[in-house]
């Protein structure tokens, strides 16, 4: 039997890389999406992953554009096969207090972090239900659970992610398709590690376990939900934040 296909949006980033590796380790053929115009960086990432023993496909596209998402899925289906597992991971921040937030910052974050859930899922979920099997994992954030100063756009979008998850999970449950959310806290990606050490130390002091999360801890949770044995888990939000927010 051919391998199941997993598509990870924002797959060439710090968290995305960990997700791609974890999915490959449980037997998926993984395709990583990257943002339009970043082909050179994506190919460099692909080569680095190959040197580590992973053969990942690539697909270019803007998850904030409905038509581009349709084209992207068509390309993946033509080159690799039907998408069995979709990880909606791509996201951006455009932080500002409401007083200073522009429509451009609001719209960009809502489009990329929330609208993309519908844009990407719309083009794969029907096929999953027809085949009687599928896994959808949506990446939210601890700030979608507790809010964050200067992130009304981001917090609103990430809170919306789990509402989308719960509704879709009810539509697909009897068709063998599970839909879940993961809400990471502060994870030690390159972006976070670039924060000045004094600021990072302050963040770590506020986390009950006393450290940042590791990308592989998120990746393994994605793989757990995407596994063949994950069929009885749907509509849930998995908080991976070291105790920063408990509910």
Cα 168 to Cα 80, 236, 240, distances in angstroms: 25, 11, 22
- Residues taking part in catalysis: 154
List the end-to-end C-alpha distance of the chain, in Å, as a whole number: 42
What's 96's DSSP letter?
Answer: B
CATH of domain 5-237: 3.40.50.720
Cβ–Cβ under 8 Å, residues 241 and 212: no
Q: Max CA-CA distance within the chain? A: 56
Of 87, 30, 24, 82, the C-alpha closest to 59 is: 30
Cβ–Cβ under 8 Å, residues 92 and 109: yes
Verdict on whether the full-model pTM lies above 0.85: yes
DSSP result, 83-95: EEEEEE-------
Cβ–Cβ under 8 Å, residues 76 and 57: yes
Kind and range of the H or E run holding 77:
helix 66-79
Domain boundaries, the chain: 5-237
* Confidence (pLDDT) at 239: 98
pLDDT at 31 over 90: yes
How confident is the model over 163-187, as pLDDT tens digits?
999 999 999 999 999 999 999 999 9
**For residue 195, what pLDDT band results from cuts at 50, 70 and 90?**
confident
Cβ–Cβ under 8 Å, residues 226 and 85: yes
Burial 112-148 (b: 16+ CB within 10 A, else e): bbbbbbebbbebbbeebbeeebbbbbbbbbbbbbbeb
pLDDT at 133 over 50: yes
Averaged pLDDT for residues 114-126? 98
- Integer Cα distance of 139 and 88 in angstroms: 6
Is pLDDT larger for residue 193 or for residue 19?
Answer: 19
Label residue 166 exposed, middle or buried (CB < 10 Å: 0-12, 13-18, 19+).
middle
- Integer Cα distance of 121 and 126 in angstroms: 9
**For residue 205, what pLDDT band results from cuts at 50, 70 and 90?**
very high
How confident is the model over 83-113, as pLDDT tens digits?
999 999 999 999 999 999 999 999 999 999 9
- Integer Cα distance of 58 and 67 in angstroms: 18
pLDDT at 1 over 60: no
């Amino acid at each position: 039997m051919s391998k199941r296909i997993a598509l990870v949006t924002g797959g060439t980033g710090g968290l995305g890389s960990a997700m791609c590796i974890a999915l490959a380790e449980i037997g998926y053929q993984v395709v990583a999406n990257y943002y339009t115009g970043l082909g050179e960086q994506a190919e460099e990432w692909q080569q680095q992953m190959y040197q580590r023993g992973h053969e990942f496909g690539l697909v270019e596209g803007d998850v904030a554009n409905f038509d581009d998402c349709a084209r992207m899925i068509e390309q993946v289906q033509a080159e690799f096969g039907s998408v069995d597992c979709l990880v909606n991971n791509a996201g951006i921040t455009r932080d500002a207090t409401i007083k200073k937030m522009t429509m451009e910052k609001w719209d960009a974050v809502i489009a990329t972090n929330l609208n993309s859930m519908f844009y990407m899922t719309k083009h794969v979920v029907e096929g999953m239900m027809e085949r009687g099997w599928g896994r959808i994992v949506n990446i939210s954030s601890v700030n979608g659970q507790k809010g964050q100063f200067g992130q009304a756009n981001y917090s609103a979008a990430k809170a919306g992610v789990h509402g989308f998850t719960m509704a879709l999970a009810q539509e697909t449950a009897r068709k063998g398709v599970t839909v879940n959310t993961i809400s990471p806290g502060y994870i030690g990606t390159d972006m976070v590690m670039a924060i000045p050490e004094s600021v990072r130390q302050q963040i770590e002091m506020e986390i009950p376990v006393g450290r940042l999360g590791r990308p592989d801890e998120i990746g393994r949770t994605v793989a757990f939900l995407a596994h063949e044995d994950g069929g009885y888990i749907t509509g849930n939000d998995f908080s991976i934040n070291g105790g920063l927010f408990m509910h």
